Structure 1
Amino acid sequence: MNTSPPAPVAAATAAGRFPPAGVQAVVFDVVGTLVEPWPPVAVAYEQAALRHGIACEATTIAARFAAAWRRQEMVDAAAVPAFATSRAREVGRWRAIVADVFSDAPQSEAVFAELWEHFAAAAAWRPLAAGSELVHEALRAGTAVVLASNFDERLLTIAPRIEPLSLAGHVFASSELGWRKPAPEFFREVEARLGHEPGELLLVGDDLELDVAAARRAGWRSLQIG
């Protein structure tokens, strides 16, 4: 049996201890870093749509979803201030994405309502091995583990119900922070709530721009996995 740590963990620890010296808290992104949707998003959308009389293959849904996601990111980037958010904005984002995916079909509102509840359940998510191991590494080192995500406030109900999310001491969702990554205000708000300086925080995430680059611009350390 292979007992070697996952590649991202091995890479993170190869140059020294994880977390690095001086880090007071490891702040983890959530989706794509610690958990992933299961079944995959396109399959969940396909199944929900079929229950409401919409036939659309998962491959088509995946392409439409990616395009709809990009459109909503552009909306946030163009907002004043950029990447400000709220619970209402996050509900509106997902309603617009579902409507785009299903071409504004009359049933799309019912599909949206079902999918909103689906992804609010812990059963819709499964843990990712590499991120989970880094959570345990941080805890073994006696370092605080924090979640800070562009996920909305549904995260607050999911996190206590699934490992490794349940191991975090603090959980911050974009809609209650008032900002989405890559806004610098997202990072400033997390710092204020934790009471730490930027250099004392390490962001672990899967997205090169939203997680790694944005954290570094904010003065944090960062590590990409996934």
Structure 2
Amino acid sequence: MVRAVVFDVGETLIDETRIFSRWADRLDVPRGTFLGLVGACAATDRPLADAFSLARPGLDLHAEMARWALEDPEGLRENFDADDLYADVRPALAALREAGLAVVVAGNQPPQARAALEAMDLPVDSIRTSDEWGVEKPAPEFFARVADLAGHPASQIAYVGDRLDNDVLPAADAGMRPVLIRRGPWGYWHATRPEAARVDVVDSLHELLALLTR
């Protein structure tokens, strides 16, 4: 029986379209081109950083982020806010909590992400990031931290994410119930792969309550 549901962040809760669009503007490439490069990385199992290096060869991403912060300290830049939440997030999370399930957010995110998520006043019990823990998915240690945070054995936890490789298959290896959401570049591609037969696949977070409590 599932007693806790843990969510990834990017393309699970947060629509990253605006983030990638701002990056396209920053790198002076058409938005469609940059979004296409992100999709190409998803389709070919290349790291997301390759989209940036393809758009601007030789780019030092961390240095560019630092310059951007100096030039536009009050802007969102590579960050997100409540306007980037997918429409199903608040009602779906609220329904899970009302059903008595613990609801947790834990993903690979930079330091500022937790504050951004907490400012949204989401119906969740806990929020943590890889930066706080000093360990990232798909490392088993990350999912051990998830279980500790959720307060339930791994066998009673569902982990919801948009990637097979980084999210749901490592969660399954940790003993959790894996749920792939088919959205975002990785979600759509990964739902077509043979490994997706090992996991539950949903098109909306609204499907979770019936899936996990039946």
Q: TM-score per shorter chain, which class?
A: 0.5 to 0.7
Instruction: Trace 1:57-206 onto structure 2 (pairs within 5 A).
Output: 57-65=30-38, 72=47, 98=52, 101-104=55-58, 109-110=63-64, 113-114=67-68, 118-122=77-81, 125-162=83-120, 166-206=122-162
Residue 60 and residue 211 in structure 1: after superposition, are their counterparts in 2 closer, same or farther (change >3 A)? same
Match of 1:46 in 2: 24
Q: Percent identity?
A: 26
Report the CA distance shift for 1:102/1:68 in structure 2 as closer, same or farther (over 3 A).
farther
Contact conserved, 2:52 with 2:59, CA < 8 A, in 1?
no
Distance 1:209 1:106, change over 3 A: closer
Distance 1:160 1:147 in 2: 10
Query: Using the alignment, how far apart are the partners of 1:106 and 1:150 within structure 2?
Result: 20
Taking the aligned partners of 2:97 and 2:32, their CA distance within structure 1 comes to: 39
Residue 131 of structure 1: how far off its partner (Å): 4.0
Query: Following the alignment from structure 1 to structure 2, what is the Cα–Cα distance between the partners of residues 137 and 106?
Result: 43
Q: TM-score, normalised by structure 2?
A: 0.67
Q: CA RMSD in A?
A: 3.2
Letter in 2 for 1:25: A
Q: Deviations over 1:176-200 (max 9, x none)?
A: 1222222111101222334321112
User: How many pairs align?
Assistant: 175
Inter-CA distance 103–66: structure 2 relative to 1 (3 Å threshold) = farther
Runs (4 or more) in structure 1 with deviation over 6 Å come to none
Residue identity opposite 1:171 in structure 2: I
**1:161 and 1:219 mapped to 2: Cα distance?**
31
Matches of 1:107 and 1:202, distance apart in 2: 33
2:165 maps to 1:209: yes
Q: Which entry has the higher C-alpha Rg, 1 or 2? A: 1
Provide Cα deviations, 1:57-98, integer angstroms capped at 9, x if missing partner: 22333344567786557xxxxxxxxxxxxxxxxxxxx7x975
- State how far apart, in whole Å, the 1-side matches of 2:140 and 2:59 are: 37
Structure 2, unpaired ranges of 5+: 70-74, 183-214
Is the counterpart of residue 29 in structure 1 residue 11 in structure 2? no
1:147: how far off? 0.3
CA distance in 2, matches of 1:224, 1:37: 17
Name which of 56, 60, 74 aligns with 2:29.
56
Runs of at least 5 residues in structure 1 that lack an aligned partner in the other structure: 1-21, 50-54, 74-93
The structure-2 alpha-carbon separation of the partners of 1:184 and 1:111, relative to structure 1 and needing over 3 Å to count, comes to closer
Residues 209 and 110 of structure 1: is their aligned pair in 2 closer, same or farther, counting only changes over 3 Å?
closer
The answer to whether the 8 A contact 2:34-2:51 is kept is no
